[in-house]
Amino acid sequence: MFRGSHKVALLLFLGVYFFSGLSSIGTSFDSRWTVYIAMSLWHHGVTNLDEYKGPLRESGFYGMECVDAQGHAVALRTDTCQGHWYNGYPIGGPVLTSPLIVVAVGVMHLLHPVIGGFHSSQPVIQGFLADDFDQAHPVIEMEVASALLAAAAVVMFLIGRMFLPVNRAVWLALLFALGTSAYSTAGRAIWQHTPSMLLLTIVIYLLLRAEQKPELAGWAGLPVALSYTVRPTDALFVIVFTAYVAWRHRRYLWKYLLAAAPVAALFLGYNFSVYHAMLSPYYHSDLSGFLPQYWSRWGVGLAGDLISPGRGLLAFTPVFLFALWSMLRQKWNTPLAPWLTALSVAHWLAVAAYISNWWAGHCYGPRFFTDITPIFVLFLIPYLEQWGSLRSAARVAFVALALVSVGIHLRGGWSLAVYRWNVDPANIDQHPERNWDWSDPQFLRFRISAANGRE
């Protein structure tokens, strides 16, 4: 599309992939079973994990549910399943990433004769050297997640090139890849947010390109449909983008729906085969914050997800202050911009309504905003477009906040202390008030207490 851009895109992909993939911290928490699902699909063509009862038992059956022949799912903590063991999280992410995981495991097999003689004191690395995907699954996840992050950065670069010269498009992509939750969350493991974020970036790219090639709007139906199989809150993607295509590209709406139909059919077919229902239990999340009697708690979540030192979007990515101003002032002159603003607001309202866990459990920073990180980054485009005409104070502030954002999110890939913050001095899930403690913000935790075995 842009002469010479493919070379820059390749270098960008490799740079982001290797930087993220060589980071010291991986966070295989909720994604714990993604590699196992991929291997089960590869070897047996099924998504249950019955053959991995040893690892399931060792993990305390974390994130697992027993599904009986009638489709009833029960979370158990003992090996008494009268059915099959399934991961309780959405199936879309593990299925979409399974080819990359299988390739990563294959590379590990191929390298074993060469690297098998080496030893590491880190169990995860030793597992990779020993050709043991059970022990090495966190590093496999991180490598695959880093590849998805790098792909999203390339798409971000291509979007940037629609509005910016090459160098500024590169800076936009690098800010996205290193200075946001795209790196500190999506790049650390195959969270639901990781493929969700990439799919959103692809959708936006297709719809922006559709201004010149309207037929591309029809293809957007495929990544939009896939996004819902990855994460329930991506139902907002389905609503907003379907409405946008119906408004802006009505002539191609039938192609959009046709592109989405196979994904919907496969997703529903899978759910009926396992759960005897249209949706798995995970898709029935409690959003009680919308009920009037819980509005005060919803308000806490709304404020916390935006400004708290423990999980606030603006606390961890302060350069997004410019993005919010851009949204409010409608600075980004594209027909899609108001719809992306509406999607961002709807997403914020929805994740905060999860009042029992608005802080997103054990993680680093504003994890619940990771999916829509591309939107906030794209609303920075107007400043880069007009960089030469901006006041010096605005340019200094933008660069300073961008560097602070990068510094904060890099800690998510290199510091164990920021993750120990979740349980030290008290478990954040039992004491969510810690999210508001400005004397101990997560991103400024540099030491691990002696009580935890470190200085």
- Are the C-beta atoms of residues 446 and 415 closer than 8 Å to each other? yes
Confidence at 453, pLDDT banded by 50, 70, 90: very low
pLDDT at 382: 98
Domain boundary among 68, 90, 112: 90
Asked whether the predicted pLDDT for residue 287 surpasses 90, the reply is no
pLDDT at 4: 62
Residues ≥6 apart with Cβ < 8 Å to 167: none
Domain boundary among 90, 116, 144: 90
Specify if 85 maps to a domain: yes
11 token code pair = 């270098």
Q: Tell me: the pLDDT tens digits for 12-42? A: 999 999 999 999 999 999 999 999 999 999 9
Mean pLDDT of all residues in 257-283:
97
Asked whether the predicted pLDDT for residue 3 surpasses 70, the reply is no
Mean pLDDT of all residues in 152-172:
97
Specify if 107 maps to a domain: no
Percent of the chain having pLDDT more than 90? 94
Torsion of CA 419, 183, 429, 88, to 10 degrees: -120
Asked whether the predicted pLDDT for residue 455 surpasses 50, the reply is no
- pTM value? 0.96
- Are the C-beta atoms of residues 87 and 125 closer than 8 Å to each other? no
Asked whether the predicted pLDDT for residue 272 surpasses 70, the reply is yes
Q: Tell me: the pLDDT tens digits for 82-133? A: 999 999 999 999 999 999 999 999 999 999 999 989 999 999 999 999 999 9
pLDDT at 449: 66
Task: Look up the domain containing 367 and give its range.
Answer: 288-452
Asked whether the predicted pLDDT for residue 215 surpasses 90, the reply is yes
pLDDT at 2: 57
Mean pLDDT of all residues in 254-262:
98
CA distances from 320 to 167, 377, 443 (A): 20, 7, 17
Specify if 205 maps to a domain: no
Confidence at 79, pLDDT banded by 50, 70, 90: confident
Confidence at 60, pLDDT banded by 50, 70, 90: very high
Domain boundary among 62, 90, 118: 90
Specify if 147 maps to a domain: no
Specify if 72 maps to a domain: yes
Average pLDDT of the chain is 95
Specify if 338 maps to a domain: yes
Confidence at 447, pLDDT banded by 50, 70, 90: confident
Q: Tell me: the pLDDT tens digits for 175-211? A: 999 999 999 999 999 999 999 999 999 999 999 999 9
Q: Tell me: the pLDDT tens digits for 347-388? A: 999 999 999 999 999 999 999 999 999 999 999 999 999 999
Specify if 320 maps to a domain: yes
pLDDT at 6: 87
pLDDT at 96: 98
For residue 57, the tally of other CB atoms under 10 A from its CB is 12
Q: Tell me: the pLDDT tens digits for 370-379? A: 999 999 999 9
Residues ≥6 apart with Cβ < 8 Å to 160: 168, 169, 170, 172, 173, 381, 384
Specify if 176 maps to a domain: no
The number of folded domains in the chain is: 2
